[in-house]
Structure 1
Amino acid sequence: MNLPNRITLARICLIPFLMVFLLVDFPFYPEPLHFGSFTLPYNQLIAAFIFIVAASTDGIDGYLARKNNMVTNLGKLLDPLADKLLVTAVLISLVQMGKLDSWIAVVIISREFAVTGLRQIALLDGSVVAASAWGKLKTVVQIVAIVLLLLNNFPFSYTGIHVDEIAVYVAALITIWSGIDYFIKNKNLLHLSKA
């Protein structure tokens, strides 16, 4: 197994740890961090760190695979799977914690299923649905929104502006638009077969 695939597997292996820190209420956690009126539990801080590390490996494994001519079928399978598992796990955890409305999680996860299905249809047709600029922007905005939610809107909590909530709604809108964009650009894959 090559290095990019190992990095991708490491990203998948971080997901259970992330969820444990978010969802398990250990009695040994110290008192939350306090900075004036701002409060941040240590478990969320650790989870945010794990999420940032895991999310950052997405670009690294792809870059290494392309640069060193190490692209494999296993990598093509694992990389998008790791991305979807990571985001889905965090979104569901945030819903469980009461920090994210369930409809937003459903919108984001549904879009991922829909685009994955489109990619499967493309493979059956012998083509590839490449990542679009909207898809890449969607990923960045989702990561920013998730990190802000995990950090209780830090550093914007002092301004009184709920940047985390704004980022979540922007992520939802860009997620919807990027999904629509994929289907518009690849509508030829959805032609109905003639009897």
Structure 2
Amino acid sequence: MHLNLPNWLTLSRIIMIPFFVGAIYLSGDWGNLVAASLFAIAGVTDWADGYIARKQGLVSAFGKFFDPVADKLLVVAALVILLDQQRVDLVVVMVLIIREILVMALREFMAGQGSGAPVSWIGKWKTAMQMLGIGMALLQDSFFSLPLGMPGQLCLYVSAVLSVWSAFYYMRDAWDKIRP
């Protein structure tokens, strides 16, 4: 199988996860800064792989499958680390992870039924708040001593609310196909 640039960018996010996890456990503020930087780089590669794939007609089955998997693996790793370091509440982590698994399963099911589950504006806002919240929670006060931990937690709470809201819409749209 030939991997094109968007697929390499997707694969790079998966490869980056152990380095991201290791970085957060470096001593001092450096660990936070390196982990947040790797998380930001991963976010840029997520945007870039989709943009390049669509712009250059390089959309592939590999990318369609592994792009969301890479995103979920990175986000779950970040949330588990933040939970371990008591930077985020268990309820928020559970809501976000359960929603990701539910929506990913629904999308896969709907694709198998020959219909898609389009991304909603609520889902896009959920992702933006989640990524911003994770980034700020990773930094804590390591970035020029700015107190980013609490605003990061607030963003993650907003993301959790938007997660439930968007999951409701996904379920509503798929209900006719999945109900018993």
Q: TM-score, normalised by structure 2?
A: 0.91
Determine if contact 2:87/2:153 at 8 Å carries over to the other structure: no
- 1:125 is displaced (CA, Å) by 1.1
- Asked if 1:151 corresponds to 2:153, the answer is no
Question: Does 164-173 or 89-98 show the bigger shift?
Answer: 164-173
- Asked if 1:3 corresponds to 2:5, the answer is yes
Report the secondary structure of 1:98's partner residue: coil
- Using the alignment, how far apart are the partners of 1:129 and 1:75 within structure 2? 17
> Residues 65-76 of structure 1 correspond to what in structure 2 (within 5 A)?
65-76=53-64
* Matched residue, 2:82: 94
Higher radius of gyration, 1 or 2: 1
Q: State how many pairs are aligned.
A: 176
- 1:156 is displaced (CA, Å) by 5.2
- 1:165 is displaced (CA, Å) by 2.4
> Residues 102-181 of structure 1 correspond to what in structure 2 (within 5 A)?
102-152=90-140, 157=147, 162-181=150-169
Query: Which structure features the higher share of helix residues?
Result: 2
Residue type at the aligned position of 1:61? D
Unaligned runs of at least 5 residues, structure 2: none
Residue type at the aligned position of 2:174? N
- Any runs of at least 4 consecutive aligned residues in structure 1 with deviations exceeding 4 A, and if so which? 153-156
Determine if contact 1:134/1:174 at 8 Å carries over to the other structure: yes
- Using the alignment, how far apart are the partners of 2:177 and 2:68 within structure 1? 20
- Using the alignment, how far apart are the partners of 1:17 and 1:48 within structure 2? 11
- Using the alignment, how far apart are the partners of 1:185 and 1:126 within structure 2? 14
- Using the alignment, how far apart are the partners of 1:189 and 1:156 within structure 2? 48
